[in-house]
Structure 1
Amino acid sequence: MIYFPYFRGRQYDLQALKAIAQQQILPANIIPIIEPVRDIRGLPQTVAAFVDHAQPVVVIANPTVSDYALTQQKLYDWRPFRDNPALIVGHILTPTLIPDELTAPNGHQTLLVARQYDELKAAQQAGWLTAPNYLLVPPEARIRQLLQRPTVSLFDHAWFPEHDRSYADITDGFFSDDWALTTHDYSGYSDYTISGGHYSEHGYPARAVTLHLTYFRGEQLRIHRFVSTDRSDYKHPKEKFFQAVAQLAAWLPQQPLSTQTPAAKQLAAYHEQQHFPGLGVVKRLSLEHHLQVMAAYFKENFPIEK
C-alpha cells in the first residue's frame, strides 16, 4: 500500500513538507507529490530536504494550475535533483505531453497523473501507459475497465462550504478510508489532503477562522473543524483564531495519543501563550499534523518488509 499525498507548491505546503522531511518520520510507502505553482526558494529547499534524507518525493514536471510552467528562466529550480534516485519525476497527462518524458533515464521512477477518461484512452491506444511506474487516475468504474494494470486512485476528499453554509454546519465528519477500499485494481491511493484539489492563485477571504485536524477513529480517518464563533464579517482574524484554538486546546487532551501529534500540540500551545502566529503557520502545522497522523498509521498497519 502506497499513499501519495498531493500538494501544490505554495509556501506553507513546502514549509510543512520540509519540516516533515527533516523529522524523518515518513515511511517509504508515503510519498508526497509536489506540483510547483511558484518560483520560490522553498521549492528546491524542500526537494533537497527529501533527497538528503533519502526519502522519496514526486515533483510534477509540467504543472497545470498556475503560470509556473510558463516561466522559462527559473530562479529556484528543482531540476538539478533529477538524477537523485529519491526523486520521482511526475507528469500530468495533457495533449502537449511528449511520450518520451514518461521514461526516466538510468532506471529512475516516473509517475503519470491522468484525470480525463478520453485522454487516458488515447494514451493507452498509443502505448504510453506502460512507461510510468505509477499511474494516478480517478476511481471511476469505466477507467478501471479500460486499464489492464494496477493504478493509484486519486480523489479529492476535502469539503468546502458553499453559499450560506459554513464549516460550523459540519464540525466533525468522515474524511477517508481509501486504503480499506483498495482492491487488486489499485496499488495505492492519493488525495489532496485537507487543502483540497481546487487551486486559487490568491485565495479568498472567509468570515470565520477554521482549524482542520484529521484523526483516526478505528479504521476511519475523520476530520474535526474548530470554527471561530465570530462569523459576522471578514475582520479580526487574530481574535477569531483565539476563539478557534481555544476549542482545539480543550478537545485535544481528550483524544488518543496518536492524535496528539507534535504539530497539534504546537497549535494548542498558542491558546496558552495567547500568541497568533499567522494563518500561514496555522495551515503549515495542520498539514504537518496530517502527515504525522498518517505516518504513524501506516507504520502500524502497512509496515515495509525489510
Structure 2
Amino acid sequence: MIYFPYFRGRQYDLQALKAIAEQQILPANIIPIIEPVRDIRGLPQTIGAFINHDHPVVVIANPTVSDYALTQQKLYDWQVYRDSPQLIVGHVLTPTLIPTEILATPDQTTLLIAHQYDELKVAQAAGWLTHPDYVLVPPEARIRQLLTRPTISLFDHAWVPEHDRSYADITDGFFSNDWQLAELNGYAGFSDYTIGGSHYSERGYPAKAVTLHLTYFQGAQLRIHRFVSTDRTDFRHPKEKFFQAVAQLAEWLPQQPAATRTPAAEQLTAYHDQHHFPGLGVVKRLSLEHHLQLMAAYFKMHFPTQK
C-alpha cells in the first residue's frame, strides 16, 4: 500500500514537508506530491530536504493551478534535483500536455495524474499509459474498468463550508478509509489532498472563525475534529479567536490515545499554555505536520516496509 499525500507548494505546505523530511519519520510507502505554485526559496529547499534524507518525493512538472508554469525564468528552480533517483517527476494529463514530456526520460521514475475519463481514454489509446510508473485517477468504476494495470486512487476528502455554513456546523466527522477501499477495489495505493483540500486560491480569503483541523484514528477509520472559535461575527481579532479554538484542543487532546498526541499536536497545545499566538501560517503548518506524523505511525504499524 502506497500513500501519496498531495500538497500545493504554498509556504506553509512546504514548511510542513521540510520539517517532516528532516524528522525522517516517513516510511518509504508514504511519498508526498508537491505541485509548485510559487517561485519561492522554500520549494527547492523542501525538495532538497527529501533528497538529502534519501526519501522519494514527487514534483509536478506542469502545475495547473497557478501561473507558476508561465514564469520563464525561475529564481528558485527545483530542476537542479531532476537527476536525483529519489525524485519522481509528475505530470497532470491535460489537452495541451505533450506526450514526449512523459516519455522523454525512460530511466526516470514518473507519475501521471488524470482527472477526466475522456482524457484518460485518449491517453490509453495513444499508448501513453504504459510508461508512467504510477497513474493517479479518480476512484470511479468506469475508470477502473478502463485500466488494466494497478493504479492509485485520488480523492479530495476536505470539506469546505459554503454560503452561510461554517465548520462549527460539523466539528467532528469521517475523513477517510481509502486504504481499505484501495484493497477492495484493486488499487495499488491512494492519494488525497490531506486536510488542505484541492481548492487553490492565489491570495486566499479571510474567515470569520479560526479553525484548527486535526485528524485522528478511531479504530481503522480516519476522522477529523475541528476546533472552531466561538467568535464568528466578523473578520477581526484572529489572535483572540485562536486562543478560543486552541483552548478546546487543550481540553480534548489529553483525553486521546497516544497515537493522536503527536509532537505537532502537542506543540499546538503548548501555545495555549504559553498564551502565545504563533500566527495562522504556523497553525496550518503544524496541523499538516500532525497529519503526516499520524499517518506515518499508522503505516509503520499496518503497512510496514523495509525502510
Residue 163 of structure 1 aligns with an amino acid whose one-letter code is H
**What is the alpha-carbon distance in structure 2 between the residues aligned to residue 205 and residue 100 of structure 1?**
41
Alignment of 1:164-203 (within 5 A): 164-183=164-183, 185-203=186-204
Q: Contact (CA 8 Å) 2:106, 2:131: kept in 1 or not?
A: no
Aligned: 1:46 with 2:38: no
Specify the alignment match of 2:222 in structure 1: 221
Q: CA deviation at 1:305?
A: 4.3
Give per-residue Cα distances to partners, 1:234-282, cap 9 Å, x unaligned: 1000000000000001110000000000000000000010000000000
Q: How does 1:89-128 map to 2 (within 5 A)?
A: 89-103=89-103, 105=105, 107-128=107-128
Please report how far the alpha carbon of residue 3 of structure 1 lies from its aligned counterpart in structure 2 after TM superposition: 0.2
- 2:180 and 2:306 map into 1 onto residues whose CA distance is 20
Corresponding position of 1:62: 62
2:261 matched residue in structure 1: 260
Point out 4+ residue stretches in structure 1 off by more than 6 angstroms: none
TM-score by length of 1: 0.98
Letter in 1 for 2:53: H
Q: Would the aligned equivalents of 2:44 and 2:78 in 1 still touch at CA under 8 Å?
A: yes
- Amino acid across the alignment from 2:155: F
Measure the CA separation in 2 of the matches of 1:288 and 1:305.
Answer: 23
Residues in 2 aligned to 1:220 and 1:89: alpha-carbon distance in whole angstroms: 31
Task: Give the Cα separation in 2 of the matches to 1:103 and 1:144.
Answer: 23
The one-letter code sitting in structure 2 at the alignment partner of 1:75 is L
Name the CA shift for 1:250/1:68 in 2 (closer, same or farther; >3 Å). Answer: same
Q: Take 2:198 and 2:10, find their aligned partners in 1: how far apart are those partners?
A: 13
Task: Give the Å deviation of 1:142.
Answer: 0.8
Distance 1:106 1:135, change over 3 A: closer
What residue in structure 2 maps to residue 233 of structure 1?
234
Deviations 1:90-143 (CA, angstroms, capped at 9, x unpaired): 000011212122136362210000001110000000000000000000000111
Cα deviations by residue, 1:128-172 (Å, 9 ceiling, x for unpaired): 000000000000011111111111000000001111111111100
Corresponding residue SS for 2:232 = coil
**Structure 2, gaps ≥5 residues long:** none
1:129 aligns with 129
Aligned residue in 1 for 2:9: 9
**Letter matched to residue 16 of structure 2:** A
Q: Match for residue 300 of structure 1?
A: 301
* 2:84 match: 84
SS of the equivalent of 1:195 reads coil
Aligned residues: 306
Comparing 293-302 and 177-186, the one that deviates more: 177-186
**2:292 corresponds to which residue?**
291
Q: Deviation per CA, 1:38-89, whole angstroms, max 9, x where unpaired?
A: 0000000000000000000000000000000000000000001011011000
Q: Is the 8 A contact 1:103 1:110 kept in 2?
A: no
In structure 2, distance between residues paired with 1:302 and 1:100 = 35
TM-score by length of 2: 0.98
Cα distance in 1 for residues equivalent to 2:155 and 2:96:
24
Change (3 A) 1:160 1:279: same
Q: Deviations over 1:150-198 (max 9, x none)?
A: 1100000000111111111110000000001113631000000000001
Structure 1 equivalent of residue 73 of structure 2: 73
Q: Which amino acid aligns with 2:191?
A: S
> Is 2:157 aligned against 1:157?
yes
